[in-house]
Chain A
C-alpha cells in the first residue's frame, strides 16, 4: 500500500476543507482499503469522516425516512422503521456481503463502491476505469459477469451494489455537501452514470463532495416486495443477476410498482418500460411475463454472458411472483 496521511475529522467543515484532488473520504473502508491494498486506489490523504454526525434515521418531508450516510448497512437494514416501511431495502441490504462487512460498510460508502470487474482489480491488465485510455480488458476477454445494458466500448463493467438496486426501485434523493459549504440534492436515478467516454467516473458527484443523507420516497411497497439475488453460491457472493420488485396492489390491480435490476449495467438498472407496462394492470403471471420480455428487449450480451438475458427474464417473473404472493 502506498503511503498516505490520515486525518480524523470531527466536523464537516474541516473534512470538506481538508479534501484535495488526491484525497479520499474514509467510511467503513471495506472497499476502499481493499482497493488500496491492490494498488488500484492511490489516495495520498484519507479523511476519516466516521465521527461526523450523519448516523441517524429520521422522518423526512417526502413522507418517507432519511438514512444518515454514515450509519452502517447492518444498522440500517435492521432499523425497525426501515424493516417495517422498506422491507425491500432491508432484504436487499441483508443479501449483500457478510455480517462482518455489513457492520462496517456505511450507507454513503455503499453508493460509492467500485465495480468488481476483475480487470479493474488486476493492475497488469488494461482497464479504462482504473487507468483511462488503457483499454477495456473485458470487452473481448472474460466477460461472463459483465453488463448487457448501457455499456460502451470503453467499459462493460457492472455496479456491484444490492442496496442501490432496491433504492432504484423505491426511489430516493441523495444529499451531498459541496466544498463551498452548501448542499445539493441528486435524484437517485441520476446519481450513478453510464460509462460512455468516461468510465473512470462511476457517479455524478463533483470533486470533494460528501454524501450526508439518502432521503427515501414515501413507503409504498411494504406488503408486496422481493429482492431476488442469483449468484454462484447461496451466500456471500455478488449477484450475477438481481431483481428488486415492489408493488402496491389494490383489488388485484397494480397501482404502483418499483422494479430494478442489478448485475446488468454500470448503474442500478431501473426497468422503466416494464414499470409503465404493469402500472394499472392486474397482477397476473401473463402480465409479469410480458413485462419481463419488455425489460430484456434491449439486452445486448457478449459471448460469455448470453445466459444473463434468459436468466434475467425469468428472474423478473420470479421476483414479481414472489412479491405478489408474499405473506409477511
Chain B
C-alpha cells in the first residue's frame, strides 16, 4: 500500500508525514541530510518518501565509490583484443584493461560499479545511458570505452558536490520528475548539459531565428521538449521533467503541481 496519494494543489488542508511515520532507513537519510524539525517537515511536504532513494544516491560520494571499486576484480580473466584505458570518471582516474568491444556504459556499470547510468535499449534510442563527456551529453551505450582515454566523464553519481545534490537533482525530486526512475539518471545528465547549451546560445530545430542567437537563451517549453527528446520516459513523467528543468533554468522557485493527501482526503477517497 502506498503511504500517500497525490492530490490536486487546490485542496488547502494539509497534514504531512511526520518523522515517526518513516522507516528507520528513511530517518537515517534525513539525518544525514542535516534535516531536522521544521526543515524536515517542510522537506517532507515536498517529496514522496519513495523519492528518498534518489536523495540517498547522492551519498555515494567519491569515497564510497572508491571503496566499492577496490572490491571489484582488476580485470576479467580472459580478454580478447585487450585495450588498456585510463577512465577519468567523476574526477577519479581508474586504469582498466578491457575488451575492445566494451561500451563505456558497460565499463561504468560492470567495472566501476557506477550503476547509476542505466542500460535501456543499448542501441541509442532511449537516452537512459546519457553521460556527460568533456561537457557534452553523449550516449555511453554507443561509445566504446576504448575511445575514452583522456576524456572527462561525468555520470549521475558525480553531479553532487560535497554531499549536496545538484540543483537539477533537487528539482527532479521536488517536481516528481519520474515514476519508476529508470530513465532518471539519463534525464538528469541530459538536463544538466542542456543548461550549458542554453547558456552558450546553441540552437535547436524549433529555434526560429538561427542567424541571430545570443548566449543565455531562455528556453520556452517547446524548446525544452524538443531538446530533451533524446530521453524517453516510459512512465510519461514529461510534464514534471519539464517543470523541474524550468525551475533550475529560470532560477525561480516554482511550487510543485501536487502535494500529499490528508488523512481526511484519503478516507473520502476510499469511501467514494
Contacts and interface: CB of A to CB of B under 8 A. Distances in A.
A254 B124 CA distance: 42
A268 interface: no
Interface stretch (B33-41, B176-184, B205-213, B258-266): B205-213
B80 interface: yes
Contacts of B209: 328
Interface in A66-93: 72, 74, 77-78, 83-84, 87, 90-91
Contacts of B230: 97-101, 236
A3 B142 contact: no
Interface stretch (A27-35, A243-251, A292-300): A27-35
Interface stretch (B13-21, B60-68, B131-139): B131-139
Contacts of A83: 203, 210-211, 213
Interface bracket on A: 35 or more
A99 to B, nearest CB: 6
Interface stretch (B88-96, B108-116, B221-229): B221-229
Contacts of A37: 122-123
Given A99-B230, A101-B230, A328 B130 contact: no
Main SS class of interface, A: mixed
Interface stretch (A4-12, A13-21, A196-204, A255-263): A4-12
B271 interface: no
A95 interface: yes
Contact of B197 (A6, A33, A99, A235): A99
Given A74-B202, A101-B124, A235-B225, A33 B144 contact: yes
Interface bracket on B: 35 or more
Contacts of A95: 205
A34 B211 contact: no
Interface in A264-319: none
Nearest to A2: B101
A30 B124 contact: yes
Interface string B179-222: 00000000000100110010000111101111111000000000
A48 B151 CA distance: 15
A4 B100 contact: yes
B211 A328 contact: yes
Interface of A: 1, 3-6, 8, 26, 29-30, 33-34, 37-38, 46, 48, 50, 72, 74, 77-78, 83-84, 87, 90-91, 94-95, 97-101, 103-104, 222, 229, 234-236, 328
Given A99-B230, A104-B142, 15 more contacts: A4-B101, A33-B103, A33-B142, A33-B144, A37-B123, A38-B123, A46-B100, A78-B203, A83-B211, A83-B213, A91-B210, A235-B225, A235-B229, A236-B229, A328-B210
25 contacts: A5-B100, A6-B100, A8-B146, A26-B144, A29-B143, A33-B142, A33-B143, A34-B124, A34-B142, A38-B123, A83-B210, A83-B211, A83-B213, A91-B205, A91-B210, A95-B205, A98-B127, A98-B229, A99-B227, A100-B138, A100-B139, A235-B205, A235-B229, A236-B230, A328-B209
Shortest beta-carbon contacts, A-B, top 3: A98-B230, A235-B229, A328-B209
